[in-house]
Structure 1
Amino acid sequence: MEEDRVINHLHTIADSGDILAVKWNPDDSHLATACADGTVKIYASSSGNFIRTLNCRLTADPMPVTALQWRPPTSQTKTKNVLVATTADGGVLHWHATSGKILHTIRFDQENQVFCVDYDLEGKYFAVGSKDMSVRVYDESTKTIIAEMQPGWGDVIGHGNRIFSVKWRDENTIISAGWDNNIIIWDVRAQRAVRAIFGPHICGDSMDICENKLLTGSYNIKDQLQLWDLNTGHNIFTQTVVSNSRPCLIYTAQFSKSDMGTIIAAGGSGSDEAYFYDSETLRPFGILSNLTHAVYSIDFAHTSNKLAVASGDGSIRVFEIAKNRQD
């Protein structure tokens, strides 16, 4: 008996304007969206009902919210549902999403756009990547910088262009990538790079980690989807993602969360589609097509096989991936 996966559409949350990021909160009861008009919107995930808007604008001109991350819940954190938003006008804003109250704001130089954010597994630290090619690590409790990884120059390994994705591998290791076609692996204690992998052109939250595998999705016309061995830095899988002769220029790629990464999802522009792969066989099993705008963000739920797909048409589509038994 063979089991095939089936992608079932549950509901669509309709809004307006580009949605650049979507994230489930830790218990999957809510969805947060990062919007191009400088706001974050919170929805009930089961019904799609709108709950509230968080205004993240730091300047007169509405600049996009570029990334979102929920703080991991721990026994040491009293306040739950803390959401961090980064903005294109240089902001890193901590919100209490339940009450809609702003908790803390970090202001970069207005010209230094912040593009990505990630927490370590314990929620003690968070890292951000920005236009100035630096990765900064902050203490969550004090919001002070504890490490700053500088741009590359000469023989010093570092980034040479904007950083669009940053991920914690463990408490001492951060991985970042962006426009310079380099994946940089950093030792936070030494505040220096320990390895660089050349290749992926990262233009969004299109990098993820599962055990010793690194997933990357590139904004390219070929070889967009790749897997890398983090222990050796070697490439172990490369796939050109194309549909009806149209390549997918990837903005987002992620492993599934609730089942230890058995599914890979990716989406982008060009073909304006989302693609799904079995991470063990590396074979595709589904495509979300008939979309009219680019897919900017995909996020899997933490506790179930649901996922949210956000696109430039202002919609968040919620799906469930089920197993269909074939005799």
Structure 2
Amino acid sequence: MEEERVITHLHTIVDSGDILVVKWNPDDSHLATACADGTVKIYASTSGNFIRTLNCRLAADAMPVTALQWRPPTSLAKTKNVLVATTADGGILHWHATSGKILHTIRFEQENQVLCVDYDVEGKYFAVGCKDMFVRVYDESTKSVIAEMAPGWGDVIGHGNRIFAVKWRDENTIISAGWDNNIIIWDVRAHRAARAIFGPHICGDAMDICGNRLLTGSYHIKDQLQLWDLNDGHNIFTQTVVSNNRPCLLYTAQFSKSDMGSMFAAGGSGSDEAYFYDSDTLRPFGMLSNLTNAVYSIDFAHASNKLAVASGDGSIRVFEITRNRQDEV
């Protein structure tokens, strides 16, 4: 007997404008979306009902919300359902999503942009990547910078362009990537890079970690989808993602969460599709096609095999992936 994965569409949430990011909250009851008009919108995940809008605009002109991250439930902080949003006009905003109240705002100089954010597993710290090529680490309780990883220069390893993805591997290690085609592994204790992997051109939340494997999705016309061994940096898997002779330039890539990364998904522009893979066989088992705009964000639920797909057509499509046993022929 072998198992076949079945992708079932549950419902679609229709909004207006580009939806750049979608994130399930820790108990999977809500979905948060980051929008190009400078707002975050909260929806009930099961019904798709709209709950509220969080206005993240820091100036008269509306700038996109670039990244979202829910504070982990393991955090010692008393307030739950805290959502962090970063903006293209240099903002880091902490929201209490349940009440819609703003808890804290960090504002960078206007010419900088905050492009990605991630919490450590305990919610004690969060890291951001910026247009100015710095990775900054903040203490969650004080909202103060406790470490800065600077751009590269000369023989010193560091970023040479905007940073679009940042992930905590463990309490002492952060991994970041962006426009400079470099994945940088940072030693947080030393405030410097330990090593780098050259190749992926990251233009969104297209990097994820599962155990010792690193998943990357590149905004390239070939070799977009890749897996790397974090122990020594060697490439495990590379595939050119193409459909009907149209390459998919990837904006997003992620492992599933509830089943220890047994599958991964990626999506982007060009072919405007999302692709689903088995992590063991490295074979695709499904594809979401016939979209009218780019797939900007994919997020798996925490406690089930549901996932949300957000695109530039103003929609969030919610799916469930199940396994069916098939008799071998």
TM-score normalised according to structure 2 size: 0.99
Query: Aligned equivalents of 1:110 and 1:23: distance in 2?
Result: 26
Counterpart mapping for 1:211-222 below 5 A: 211-222=211-222
- Partners of 2:207 and 2:216 within 8 A in 1: yes
Query: Aligned equivalents of 2:321 and 2:111: distance in 1?
Result: 41
Query: Aligned equivalents of 1:5 and 1:120: distance in 2?
Result: 31
Q: Give the drift of 1:325.
A: 1.9
Does the alignment pair 1:103 with 2:98?
no
Does the alignment pair 1:196 with 2:196?
yes
Query: Aligned equivalents of 1:280 and 1:8: distance in 2?
Result: 21
- Partners of 2:74 and 2:121 within 8 A in 1: no
Query: Aligned equivalents of 2:325 and 2:15: distance in 1?
Result: 36
Counterpart mapping for 1:7-156 below 5 A: 7-74=7-74, 76-156=76-156
Query: Aligned equivalents of 1:242 and 1:317: distance in 2?
Result: 22
Residue in structure 2 matched with residue 303 of structure 1 by the alignment: 303
- Partners of 2:75 and 2:123 within 8 A in 1: no
Query: Aligned equivalents of 2:26 and 2:32: distance in 1?
Result: 11
Residue in structure 1 matched with residue 317 of structure 2 by the alignment: 317
- Partners of 2:29 and 2:44 within 8 A in 1: yes
SS at match of 1:277: strand
Query: Aligned equivalents of 2:27 and 2:77: distance in 1?
Result: 15
Give every structure 1 segment of 4 or more consecutive aligned residues whose post-TM-superposition deviation is greater than 6 Å. Answer: none
Does the alignment pair 1:270 with 2:270?
yes
Q: Give the drift of 1:290.
A: 0.6
Q: Deviations over 1:126-180 (max 9, x none)?
A: 0000100000000000000000000000111000000000000000000000000
Q: Return the letter of the residue paired with 1:278.
A: D
Query: CA separation of 1:66/1:75 partners in 2, compared to 1, >3 Å: closer, same or farther?
Result: closer
Stretches of structure 2 that go unaligned for 5 or more consecutive residues are none
Query: Aligned equivalents of 2:12 and 2:75: distance in 1?
Result: 34
Query: Aligned equivalents of 2:282 and 2:2: distance in 1?
Result: 17
Does the alignment pair 1:207 with 2:207?
yes
SS at match of 2:321: strand
Q: Give the drift of 1:75.
A: 6.1
Q: Give the drift of 1:13.
A: 0.2
Q: Give the drift of 1:77.
A: 2.1
Percent of aligned positions that are identical: 89
SS at match of 2:102: strand
Q: Deviations over 1:192-230 (max 9, x none)?
A: 000010000000000000000000000000000000000
Q: Return the letter of the residue paired with 1:29.
A: S
Does the alignment pair 1:163 with 2:163?
yes
Query: Aligned equivalents of 1:75 and 1:257: distance in 2?
Result: 19
Q: Give the drift of 1:17.
A: 0.3
Q: Deviations over 1:216-258 (max 9, x none)?
A: 0000000000000001011111011011111000000000000
RMSD of Structure 2 on Structure 1 (CA): 0.6
Q: Return the letter of the residue paired with 2:290.
A: N
Q: Give the drift of 1:315.
A: 0.1
Q: Deviations over 1:57-77 (max 9, x none)?
A: 001000000000000012622
Query: Aligned equivalents of 2:76 and 2:53: distance in 1?
Result: 28
Query: Aligned equivalents of 1:286 and 1:68: distance in 2?
Result: 27
SS at match of 1:68: strand
Q: Deviations over 1:80-134 (max 9, x none)?
A: 1000000000000000000000000000111101100000000000000010000
Residue in structure 1 matched with residue 288 of structure 2 by the alignment: 288
Query: Aligned equivalents of 1:44 and 1:77: distance in 2?
Result: 24
- Partners of 2:75 and 2:122 within 8 A in 1: no
- Partners of 2:7 and 2:322 within 8 A in 1: yes
Residue in structure 1 matched with residue 181 of structure 2 by the alignment: 181
Query: Aligned equivalents of 1:115 and 1:143: distance in 2?
Result: 18
Query: Aligned equivalents of 1:229 and 1:260: distance in 2?
Result: 16
Query: Aligned equivalents of 1:86 and 1:110: distance in 2?
Result: 13
Query: Aligned equivalents of 1:35 and 1:220: distance in 2?
Result: 24
Residue in structure 2 matched with residue 251 of structure 1 by the alignment: 251
Q: Deviations over 1:22-42 (max 9, x none)?
A: 000000000000000000000
Query: Aligned equivalents of 2:207 and 2:181: distance in 1?
Result: 13
SS at match of 1:116: strand
